[in-house]
Amino acid sequence: MSQPNAPSEPAGSAEFSRRSLAAQAMGGIDPHTRAVVRPLHVATTFVRDPDNGYSSGYCYARPDNATVREAEAVLAMLEGAEAGALLFGSGMAAATAVFGALEPGDHVVAGTVMYWALKRWLREEAPRRGLDLTFVDTDDPETLRAAMRPDRTKLVWIETPGNPLWTVTDIVAAAEIAHAAGARLAVDSTAASPVHTRPLELGADLVMHSGTKILNGHSDVVAGVLAAARADGFWERIKGIRSGSGGILGPFEAFLLMRSLRTLHLRAAAQSAAALDLARRLSAHPHVSRVLYPGLPEDPGHAVAARQMRDGFGFMLSIRVAGGEAGAIATAARVRLWKRATSLGGVESLIEHRASVEGPGSPCPPDLLRLSAGVEDVDDLFRDLDAALRAAHDVA
């Protein structure tokens, strides 16, 4: 299906595109056997040279691991990250390492619409660490600008598209606003994936992903990623936090993640095309009051999304059910193909009544169902949801 945003272009100076490089894990082979898949390195420790050095570059597995490094190289390539990428044991471990690198007294501006568990962590933990937090609607650049405190704001944290309303924040504008105030811009790009958006190329300083989501994509690994535009002191501090707090991803998880990254472009293209198709069909559904998806021309975030996303608008959408909260819960209860589960980005399509997960204080409307489009037949996905919406309406 043709999509109304820009097609991808080959990687800047590289001879081959990101898709080609990822498909072959950057062309890495095992030097001993010439196997096309590199071995899984599970060792926790490495032999010292007789002259007391470590000529391999490896000493102990908590700061570093060869299998982790291989997946990090692919992620850095995908994001265009000059300073490289770091893998963590979860998306939350990656995100909290960024806040851990700030100093007491620093001011942070973060989005109102963001991953709920991280917002809760920020509310509970940031004040204990002496951080001063302001939450604003970052999809409006003027609101973001007004929240900045020059010389005190050190970090702007945005999530785009933002969970679970899929509001879009203009990364170019946010970077300009953050930098004008002397702050860094970090982007949680989980819902965009490096296939659709590359925040570092748009001016962001750091990009974060929950690798648990589409990067791994098979609902069998919990992982987190950070990638940086510059190897500065802040990035060194984040590296020190990962090593010191023991937050590195395990080698087996890194191996599975690497295997998944080889098909990332295929999965992202298929899942985004399915999400767009579903969004269009659900927009015309009698029991759906609103579809939230930046790929729809009528979506408030569409113009910015069309500029900063390519090859599709992502695999996540939400619907607001005309029958309200009861109608939404009754619809989720009646699907047969979609799986009622939290998380997103996997090959199996998931449906979730998000307000039930987020609880009190959440900005999520009670009539909202969050949908993660997988790789099943999109006609099956639509028919299943359509039948559930109609059946739920009939009992209401």
User: Is position 92 an interface residue for ligand PLP (rule: CB under 6 A)?
Assistant: yes
Q: Which of 139, 159, 299, 311 binds ligand PLP (CB under 6 A)?
A: 159
Residue tagged active-site, from 18, 115, 198, 293: 115
Question: Is 188 a catalytic site residue?
Answer: yes
Backbone phi and psi for residue 116, each to the nearest 5 degrees, phi listed first: -60, -40
- Output 84 or 314, the one with its CB closest to ligand PLP: 314
Question: Is 370 a catalytic site residue?
Answer: no
- Output 224 or 247, the one with its CB closest to ligand PLP: 224
- Output 161 or 327, the one with its CB closest to ligand PLP: 161
Smallest separation (angstroms) from ligand PLP to the CB of 195: 16
Q: Please state, in angstroms and rounded to a whole number, the distance separating the CA atoms of residues 225 and 209.
A: 5
- The token duo for 69 is 């490094």
Q: Please state, in angstroms and rounded to a whole number, the distance separating the CA atoms of residues 167 and 163.
A: 8
Smallest separation (angstroms) from ligand PLP to the CB of 174: 16
Q: What is the CA radius of gyration of the chain?
A: 21
- Number of residues in contact with ligand PLP under rule CB under 6 A: 16
Contacting ligand PLP within 104-123 (CB under 6 A): 115, 118
Q: Please state, in angstroms and rounded to a whole number, the distance separating the CA atoms of residues 282 and 394.
A: 18
Contacting ligand PLP within 365-384 (CB under 6 A): none
Give the nearest residue (CB) to ligand PLP.
91
Q: Please state, in angstroms and rounded to a whole number, the distance separating the CA atoms of residues 292 and 319.
A: 6
Contact of 153 with 182, CB cutoff 8 Å: yes
Contact of 321 with 288, CB cutoff 8 Å: yes
Q: Please state, in angstroms and rounded to a whole number, the distance separating the CA atoms of residues 341 and 351.
A: 6
Q: Backbone dihedral region of 133: left (phi > 0), alpha (psi from -120 to 50 degrees) or beta?
A: beta
Burial of 360 (0-12, 13-18, 19+ CB in 10 A): exposed
Residue tagged active-site, from 188, 205, 299, 311: 188
Question: Is 281 a catalytic site residue?
Answer: no
| Contact string 180-219 vs ligand PLP (x = CB under 6 A) | --------x-xx------------------x-xx------
Question: Is 154 a catalytic site residue?
Answer: no
Catalytic positions are: 62, 115, 188, 213
Residues making contact with ligand PLP (CB under 6 A): 90-92, 115, 118, 159, 163, 188, 190-191, 210, 212-213, 222, 224, 344
